[in-house]
Amino acid sequence: MLRGIAGAPGIAIGRAFIFRPEQLDFERKTISPQEVDQELVRLQHALRQAHQELAGIYARAMSDLGRDRAGTFHAQLMILEDPTFESELISIIRSGVNVEGAVGEVVTNYVQMFEDSGDEYLRERAADYRDVGCRLLRILLGQSWTPVPRLKEDSIVVARDLSAPDSMQLDRSRILGLAIERGGRTCTACILARSLEIPAVVGLGRFVHRVQNGDLIIVDGSKGTVILNPDPATVAEYQHRRETYLACKKEMQMLSDLPAETRDGYRVQLLANIDHPGEVASALAQGAEGIGLFRTEHLFLGRDTMPSEDEQFEFYVQVVQKMRGRPVVIRTLDYAGPSSPFFQPMHYEPNPFLGCRGIRLNLNFEEIFNTQIRAILRASAFGRVKVMFPLISRVEDLRRAKGMLRQAQEELQLAGKKFDPRIEVGLLVEVPSAALTAELFAPEVDFYSIGTNDLVQYTLAVDRASAGINPLHQVLHPAILRLIKNVIDAARNSRKKVAMCGEMAGEPLATLLLLGLGLDQFSAAAGSLPEIKKVIRAVTLKEAREVALQALQLSAPEEVRRFLEQEMKSRRLYF
Ligand code: PEP
Ligand code: MG
């Protein structure tokens, strides 16, 4: 039995398919000074084409896998846009080396540096560099994409590593499970497996050389173990365990029709976070009572032209109509990253996450913002739409955004277009200054929603991209709990509803605490809603309040975690 890291729960029994990604094969040649210019032109062409290909893949991955999961393609685009990367290539070419040699050298250096670091996040970065390198070399050699051999039957994919681009080439409907040598809980393979709901074990260490295509394999993604060529008795035992696991999962899904209500009858609402209209069906199937966060970036990224008002309207109205009168919170554009064809920053931003993103981007690019609000307003005529503004750090910005909303309403009125004149306006609380002064926003907003992903990043000074691997990224930090309490109290005092749409809302470990603090709505990835509901239905509000009170007394994040784990275990809730 091989032991690795439990990456995605469940048990798979099936035949092995060994997946081998592209290799970084290149020929290094010396070139004459006369050939340098020509090689530089080839480099520019390859960089441009690679960028174009990746932007397309990124857009596709956003719709297939969702924003967070498509992040690796964004990271690869950033490598191509990195001026240091490009200048390293240019200087090697200028020293008399062909482009292939320069790409091979620069990429190998990065890959080695990141792989040697021993840090899981950095090892993922190595995979990104390797993929970018392979793509550039393929373009330079004029080769077309080498498709990975198709999965002919339902199989367990066995690989040293599985990057996001690799995974896009596999026929997902045929993957029964994953057994991967590298990676940890937040690697691409795990994220893919969790979104496809297939079992995965990663971090198994060297073992692929012991496997042949077609070998029988058991993957236990709940325990983090893999068995190669098991005997019939073991197969029977795991088949039985697989059936028990599936029955349990079905029981959870049956919860989707029951209300999110505590044992003493206190009712909260469970909402889903989505990026695309295609996700609505799954949200409804998992029991979502509305959409608590509809991120709109998807519509804007990976393209050269602005989405028109009509195109945006079509995108939003699809969700609104599918939700049939249930609330849909549409968040205006929040984009932080490399410059795009339509958002050229006024000046170079060394740190875009502290720069022109969220509401600042909205207000800086008035025409784009106005087009978006008009489209949202028009969609509001077809259901229950609410609009939410991101990254608000001060009241003036909210007032200005609301002023523009009013102006758009007047324009639509004059044009005879329908919209909801009483559309609710929400404040996404994700900057500490807004959380600390939440009560000052009360006269300006209809509801609050707490975005813990950014709130943790900005409060604890820890990059959100490292969530899950960086031990300092702690949603249970006492500072975060106090900020959440402050927002909830401010909302309650002003009789406004308060939601949470950051990842914390989908963490069963935090459910008791959030319920006890008085949160009205939990908005999370659809897949986590049944578990959250199970916790809510198993407790009373009184118990939850007691838990919240005690958690607030603790001084260290780890103490809060241990305390909550204990509370869950004592109720047989922690799985
Ligand atoms: C958040 O920051 O918690 C949030 C919900 O917004 P996003 O993850 O889209 O930045
Ligand atoms: Mg955010």
pLDDT exceeds cutoff 60 at 202: yes
Residue 521, beta-bridge partner list: 269, 499
Domain boundaries for CATH 3.50.30.10 within the chain: 2-21+147-236
Give yes or no for residue 135 CB within 6 A of ligand 1: no
Query: Which of 62-76, 459-473, 538-552 is predicted most confidently?
Result: 538-552
CA separation for the pair 567, 569 (Å, rounded): 6
Its sign, for the CA torsion 259, 261, 265, 266, is negative
Counting residues of the chain whose pLDDT is more than 90, the rounded percentage is 63
Give yes or no for residue 71 CB within 6 A of ligand 1: no
State which of 428, 430, 431 you would mutate to test the pocket of ligand 1, scoring each by most atoms of that ligand within 8 A of its C-beta: 430
| pLDDT tier, 512 (very low <50, low <70, confident <90, very high otherwise) | very high
Domain boundaries for CATH 3.20.20.60 within the chain: 263-570
pLDDT exceeds cutoff 60 at 228: yes
**What pLDDT is attached to residue 470?**
66
CA distances from 358 to 364, 487, 560 (A): 10, 20, 31
Which of 326, 327, 334 shows the shortest CA–CA distance to 298? 334
Its sign, for the CA torsion 259, 260, 262, 264, is negative
Strands, E assignment, 431-477: 447-450
Q: H or E stretch including 331? A: strand 327-331
The Cβ of residue 36 has, within 10 Å, a number of other Cβ atoms equal to 17
CA separation for the pair 296, 316 (Å, rounded): 9
Question: Is 109 within any annotated ligand binding site?
Answer: no
- Please, are residues 277 and 62 in contact by the beta-carbon 8 Å criterion? no
| pLDDT tier, 338 (very low <50, low <70, confident <90, very high otherwise) | low
Query: Which of 243-247, 418-422, 452-456 is predicted most confidently?
Result: 418-422
Could you say which ligand is closest to the alpha carbon of residue 294?
A: 1
Strands 11-19 and 216-220: antiparallel
**What pLDDT is attached to residue 106?**
95
Average pLDDT, the chain: 88
Q: H or E stretch including 111? A: helix 99-116
| pLDDT tier, 119 (very low <50, low <70, confident <90, very high otherwise) | low
Question: What average pLDDT does this structure show over 534-559?
Answer: 97
- Helix axis angle for 309-322 and 366-379, nearest 10°, is 40
- 33-140 belongs to CATH 1.10.274.10: yes
pLDDT exceeds cutoff 50 at 147: no
Under DSSP, the state recorded for 476 is T
**What pLDDT is attached to residue 58?**
82
- Greater model confidence, 142 or 338: 142
**What pLDDT is attached to residue 195?**
65
> 12-26, 137-151, 199-213, 484-498: which range is least confident on average?
137-151
CA separation for the pair 125, 110 (Å, rounded): 9
- Greater model confidence, 224 or 237: 237
pLDDT exceeds cutoff 60 at 92: yes
pLDDT exceeds cutoff 80 at 117: no
> 124-138, 331-345, 366-380, 410-424: which range is least confident on average?
331-345
**What pLDDT is attached to residue 191?**
63
Residue count of the chain:
575
pLDDT exceeds cutoff 60 at 575: no
Question: What average pLDDT does this structure show over 372-400?
Answer: 98
Q: Render 154-202 in DSSP notation, one character per residue.
A: SEEEEES---HHHHHHS-GGGEEEEEESS--TTSHHHHHHHHHT--EEE
Measured by CA distance, the residue closest to atom 1 of ligand 1 is 451
pLDDT exceeds cutoff 70 at 121: no
Condensed to tens digits (0 to 9), the pLDDT of residues 297-313 reads 878 765 667 889 999 99
Measured by CA distance, the residue closest to atom 8 of ligand 1 is 453
Q: Fold for 263-570, please state it.
A: TIM Barrel (3.20.20)
Give yes or no for residue 298 CB within 6 A of ligand 1: no
- The residue type of 42 is R
Question: What average pLDDT does this structure show over 74-83?
Answer: 90
Condensed to tens digits (0 to 9), the pLDDT of residues 255-314 reads 888 999 999 999 999 999 888 787 788 789 889 999 999 988 878 765 667 889 999 999
CA separation for the pair 228, 215 (Å, rounded): 7
Token pair of 511 as six digits: 């459910």
**What pLDDT is attached to residue 340?**
58
CA separation for the pair 390, 427 (Å, rounded): 7
Domain boundaries for CATH 1.10.274.10 within the chain: 33-140
* pTM for the model: 0.67
Give yes or no for residue 452 CB within 6 A of ligand 1: yes
Its sign, for the CA torsion 362, 366, 369, 374, is positive
Question: Is 331 within any annotated ligand binding site?
Answer: yes
**What pLDDT is attached to residue 148?**
53
CA separation for the pair 308, 375 (Å, rounded): 9
**What pLDDT is attached to residue 201?**
93
Measured by CA distance, the residue closest to atom 9 of ligand 1 is 295
CA atoms within 13 Å, Cβ hemisphere of 228: 16
Q: Residue 454 CA: which ligand 1 atom is closest?
A: 2
**What pLDDT is attached to residue 239?**
96
The answer for residues whose C-beta is within 8 angstroms of residue 178's C-beta and 6 or more apart is: 7, 8, 156, 157, 159, 162, 189, 192, 193, 198, 199, 200, 201, 202, 219
Return the CATH number of the domain spanning residue range 2-21+147-236.
Answer: 3.50.30.10
- Greater model confidence, 127 or 561: 561
> 85-99, 165-179, 270-284, 369-383: which range is least confident on average?
165-179
Strands, E assignment, 364-459: 384-389, 424-429, 447-450
